[in-house]
Amino acid sequence: MSLHPYSQILQNWYHIYKRDLPWRDVSDPYLIWISEIILQQTRVAQGMDYYLRFVTRFPNVLSLAKAEEQEVLKYWQGLGYYSRARNLHKAARQIAENYGGQFPHVHTDILKLSGIGIYTAAAIASFAYGQPYAVVDGNVYRVLSRVFGIDSPIDSPRGQKEFAALAAELLDSENAGTHNQAIMEFGALQCVPVNPDCGICPLKDNCVALKTASVDKLPVKERKTKIKARYFNYLFIKHENQTYLQKRESQDIWKNLYEFPLIESDRLFTVDQLIEQDEFKTLFPDTTALKISSIYYDFKHILTHRHIFARFFMIETDKTNSHYKKFGKTLIDNMDHLPISRLTELFLEKIFTR
DNA sequence: AAGTCGGGGAA
DNA sequence: TTCCCAGACTT
């Protein structure tokens, strides 16, 4: 019943400048869901190919529910935040089980699904069903904090409540989907994080931040990610053109992805240090059957909150033994179907393309 | 409330 | 380097 003037401006802008994206102007909640999960903390340019390949292989809820998690992770390989893929798969099975494979229409039901939080539930409900829920993502925080000059930290519960209330107040309830798309697209294209072109902004006469020269100070974030270093000593064991792999199963980075046997420590080892490690001795009690190359491959893998220093040792052995049989044995050429981290992928690319 | 989870692109 | 991206979950 009430259309806020700012929403009108944003929607007018949107109709002119919106990008043509494959998940836009579709009403299938499944497709919208997949796109929303892929785009969490991920740029459109990075997620585009993943989206197209994913929905080609898994075109609907049931095809995803029927798949093995391993294959779903393989389709996610390289995209990061793999809990998204695990939860996506889990939620597909929840939908198959609890809703007969039909994506739920009720907001509270959508919110219960694994991997769907406040933002994604609002996005699906408004895009697919036109329900009046306001989205608040990184774009919305930026637009609202600047236009209204709000310096409450966006990563504090207090700030999040404040922005959520404001977003709900501005929402065009009759056109919730378009309104939500408009404000996010506006944040992504016009009200960008660094050096926005405020001279051509349709809200330049209404923007508090522009008026007070604080565009570059908003939004406010109070937490800074602390970067920690980790040291991975990988064992690339070769035995008759086969190697050994393990699945990372603990609550840690790359959960349920495969990798070479690993000794994590507070440093990278030399070959001499490596063979003195208890874990290594347990694996190879008899070092006479081993050929450990003095050449190894070092990588510095940079993540948002981690610097991972990785060293891959090349170990050749003539005979197998019972100690490292606990690892899955696989033909090196057959690793292709297993989901692996970007780091392991880069190592494999390096040794097979030289 | 704080910590954790990936990877890449832009400035 | 630093920041941030259509965030969610665990502790």
Q: In what order do the strands lie in the sheet with A262-265?
A: A262-265, A228-238, A306-317, A290-302
The answer to whether strand C lies under 7 Å from the CB of residue A23 is yes
Residue A95 shares a structural domain with residue A205? yes
User: Which pLDDT does position A137 carry in this prediction?
Assistant: 97
Round to whole Å and give the CA distance between A204 and A241.
64
Residues A319, A240: contact at Cβ < 8 Å? no
Number of domains in chain A: 2
Tokens encoding A179: 């309104």
Same domain, A168 and A240: no
* Cβ-contact A230, A265 below 8 angstroms: no
- Candidates A141, A181, A180; CA nearest to A163 is A141
Examine residue A330 and state whether it is found in any structural domain, yes or no.
Answer: yes
For residue A35, the model assigns a pLDDT of: 98
Give all strands (DSSP E) within chain A, no chain letters.
228-238, 242-247, 258-259, 262-265, 290-302, 306-317, 328-331
Residue A263, in any domain of the structure: yes
Residue nearest to nucleotide B7 (CA to C1'): A80
My answer on whether A122 and A267 are in the same domain is no
Same domain, A124 and A235: no
What CATH number is given to the structural domain containing A345?
Answer: 3.90.79.10
User: Which among A194, A217, A240 is the end of a domain?
Assistant: A217
Q: What's the CA gap between A147 and A183, in Å, rounded?
A: 12
Question: Given this model, what pLDDT does residue A28 score?
Answer: 98
Within 7 Å of a protein beta carbon, the nucleotides of strand B are 1-11
- Domain-embedded: residue A223: no
* Residues of A identified as active-site: 36
Q: How far is the CA of A8 from the C1' of B9 (A)?
A: 32
Residue (of A218, A247, A223, A95) closest to A146 by Cα position: A218
Same domain, A179 and A236: no
A94 within 8 A of A113, measured Cβ to Cβ: yes
Find the domain containing A125 and state its range.
5-217
Task: Specify if A222 maps to a domain.
Answer: no
Q: Is the CB of A305 under 7 A from strand B?
A: yes
Residues A292 and A206 both lie in one domain: no
Half-sphere exposure (Cβ direction) of A138: Cα atoms closer than 13 Å: 10
Of A188, A217, A246, the last residue of a domain is A217
Would you give the DSSP letter of residue A56? H
Give the pLDDT of chain A (354 residues) as one tens digit per residue.
579 999 999 999 999 999 999 999 899 999 999 999 999 999 999 999 999 999 999 999 999 999 999 999 999 999 999 999 999 999 999 999 999 999 999 999 999 999 999 999 999 999 999 999 999 999 999 999 999 999 999 999 999 999 999 999 999 999 999 999 999 999 999 999 999 999 999 999 999 999 999 999 999 999 888 899 999 999 999 888 888 899 999 999 999 999 999 999 999 999 999 999 999 988 888 887 789 998 899 999 999 999 999 999 999 987 666 555 556 667 666 788 999 999 999 999 999 875
Of A307, A298, A300, A303, residue with least CA distance to A350: A298
DSSP A149: T
Residue A210 and residue A233 share a domain:
no
SS3 assignment, position A234: strand
